[in-house]
Amino acid sequence: MSEKILVPVLGESITEATVSKWLKNEGEAVEADEPIVELETDKVNLEVPSPISGVLSQINSKDGSVVQVGALLGSVSDNGAGSNEDIKIKKVVSTTEENNVINLEAQKQKDEPVIFDEKKEDATIEKPLVLTNEIKEENISENKKISQTLSPAVRKIVTENKIDIKSVKGTGKDGRIIKGDLINLMGVNPSPSERKIKYGQEERIKMTRLRQTIAKRLKQAQENAALLTTFNEVDMTNVMEMRKDNQEDFQDRYGIKLGFMSFFVKACVVALKNFPTVNAEIEGEEIVYKNYYNISFAVGTEKGLVVPVLKNADELSFADIEKNIKEISEKARDGKLTIEDLQGGTFTISNGGVYGSMLSTPILNLPQSGVLGMHNIVDRAIVVDGEIKIRPIMYLALSYDHRIIDGKESVSFLKMIKENLEDPRRLFLDI
């Protein structure tokens, strides 16, 4: 007896997928419900399980093939014999939740931890370009020992230019490093980068479906929405003091740290209630006002940016917000999000500050009409009550669709967020 392996229903608006890779080869034994092939869609990666226990008798769609929902992927035989009869393709409806599981990173066996190893990665998988000029930790202690014998002038050059002293051959007395040795070293042409040595002058890698979808949606946002960004700054002193004063008690009671995101989510919800247009979207010739508050938040992963959704944020406590954000973020990085986790957002928060961004103009996550950009907190000189003081300042950016949100609304919305963060007690009064 032979059972067909078909492309399952992939989710809302998804009609096709790419065969990322087969997890089993023809002739290999498989167990019922064991992942047998991995599909890549515009939104998610998912594993298709074997319908029965037996042998993978036939592979009809090779790696890299584009397949439609209901298309034939292959077949499994309980005795290993393949079917020679013509097979008709039928559409099937997925009955298991695992067909909606995102697999952002290639998994090994279930009981084995996933370890990132660049050497073992498939060359066809998109990898970020990373430039590094760091000195290995193992050299630091050795450098410190050697630096004790250096003259002040030589030590200054080493420090300013971040030179690995172990690579310098000293020509001074007893092999000591002198200034001329460093000058000669800096005059030597640098060697080619590791990536150039490994991959050649250029690399050409096909974009993943997720990256293609990100590119398409961002371009759509630019072309279809009337994008405009307004800025403000917020003094984070009171938020930081409240976190510091209550962190220990908060963590003891709820088992999780009190972060900044819960404050920003709460502040956004209050502002969205007061300015409902920012929580609305355009649908044809109508404006759809959302009376629920699902906050999307951007999460960077190895495969690209995903934007999971914190559902019904207005009904969550500070602790609930922190727990849910932590849980959803971990699911995103582990490749365990579902399609449902990515749908239904009404407003987005993007935190470029975790990467050191000072200021940016975030782009809309269509069909939403607003996105808030958070940035890094930096001590700056500001005037407080006629005196110059040093305060922790964060720049905020609100990008919005000017087709339905006027300048007055956008500025007032961002100002309300600023006021609630500078006096976080307001968040508990809902004003």
> Does the bond joining 367 to the residue before it have cis omega, within 30 degrees of 0?
yes
The residue type found at 291 is N
Q: What is the DSSP string of 73-126?
A: EEEEESSSPPP-S----------SGGGGB---S----TTS-----GGGS-TTS-
Residue 210 — very low, low, confident or very high, per pLDDT cuts 50/70/90? confident
Q: Which fold has domain 2-101?
A: OB fold (Dihydrolipoamide Acetyltransferase, E2P) (2.40.50)
Give the mean pLDDT of 355-383: 92
Q: Please state, in angstroms and as integers, the Cα–Cα distance from residue 354 to each residue in 302, 377, 414, following that order.
A: 16, 10, 21
Tell me what percent of the residues of the chain surpass a pLDDT of 70: 79
Question: Per CATH, which fold does 137-186 belong to?
Answer: Dihydrolipoamide Transferase (4.10.320)
More confident call, 413 vs 340: 413
CA angle, 17 then 281 then 285, to 5°: 100
Say which range, 195-204, 207-216, 343-352, 359-368, has the weakest mean pLDDT: 207-216
Architecture of domain 209-428: 2-Layer Sandwich (3.30)
- CB-hemisphere CA count at 13 Å for 40? 21
Lowest mean pLDDT among 82-86, 181-185, 224-228: 82-86
Catalytic residue among 341, 402, 423, 430: 402
In the numeric block, the tokens 């939104």 are attached to 43
> Among this protein's residues, is 375 annotated catalytic?
no
Instruction: Render pLDDT for 159-170 as a digit per residue (tens, 0 to 9).
Output: 777 777 777 777
Angstrom distance (rounded) from CA 76 to CA 29: 9
Exactly one of 33, 245, 406, 430 is catalytic; name it.
406
Active site residue 122: no
Residue of 261, 222, 216 whose CA lies nearest to 353 = 261
Q: Per-residue pLDDT for 68 more than 80?
A: yes
Domain residue extents for the chain: 2-101, 137-186, 209-428
Q: Binning pLDDT at 50, 70 and 90, where does residue 145 land?
A: low
pLDDT tens digit sequence for 15-27:
788 888 888 888 8
Q: Is the pTM of this model over 0.85?
A: no
